[in-house]
Amino acid sequence: MAHNTVVSWTEGMAFDVELDGHHFIVDADEQFGGRNKGPQPKGLLLSSLAGCTGMDVVSLLGKMKVPFDRFKLEIEGKLADDHPKCYTDILIRYIFHGAELDRGKIEKAVGLSVDKYCAVHYMLSKAANLRHEIVLNPD
């Protein structure tokens, strides 16, 4: 399997991105000459990480027959002060809501994702310190 992308400059710092048939705009912050017409490329790395590990966890919990009502991920990425301003620390917070949550199975699913299945996690772990936490039924 391969992914294909074509990125075309539109104006200013904005680019039209076509990724496997899907289109979206990326742009820079106004302080860097952009018009904030779309997400910034670096931030999309965090979204890719969330989507990749989130899909793993949902699939694994389905196979383990672990029900949940809601699930979301919050990711905080800290950038280096100097160029290249890459992510140095990334915290992935897995947040679950439900009446019958099984912490042990959720921990197993998250562990399998971050240690074995999530390729985005694997790639980012070569450049940054990745940590995760699991939150069950927050207020």
* CATH number for the domain formed by residue range(s) 41-136: 3.30.300.20
> How confident is the model at residue 28, as a pLDDT?
96
pLDDT at 102: 97
All structural domains of the chain with their residue ranges: 1-39, 41-136
Specify the long-range contacts of residues 49-54, CB closer than 8 Å, at least 24 apart. Answer: 49/75, 49/90, 49/92, 49/118, 49/120, 49/121, 49/124, 50/75, 50/92, 51/120, 52/118, 52/119, 52/120, 52/121, 53/92, 53/110, 53/113, 53/114, 53/118, 53/120, 53/121
Q: For residue 1, what pLDDT is reported? A: 83
What does the pLDDT read at residue 139? Answer: 78
Half-sphere exposure of 64 (CA within 13 A, CB side): 21
Q: How many CB atoms lie within 10 A of CB 64?
A: 13
Q: Which two tokens stand for residue 78?
A: 């800290």
Q: Kindly give the confidence (pLDDT) of every residue in the chain, 139 residues in length, as a single tens digit, with 9 standing for 90 and above.
A: 899 999 999 999 999 999 999 999 999 999 999 999 999 999 999 999 999 999 999 999 999 999 999 999 999 999 999 999 999 999 999 999 999 999 999 999 999 999 999 999 999 999 999 999 999 999 7
Q: Is 45 helix (H, G, I), strand (E, B) or coil?
A: helix
**What is the model's pTM?**
0.94
Number of H helices, E strands in the chain: 3, 6
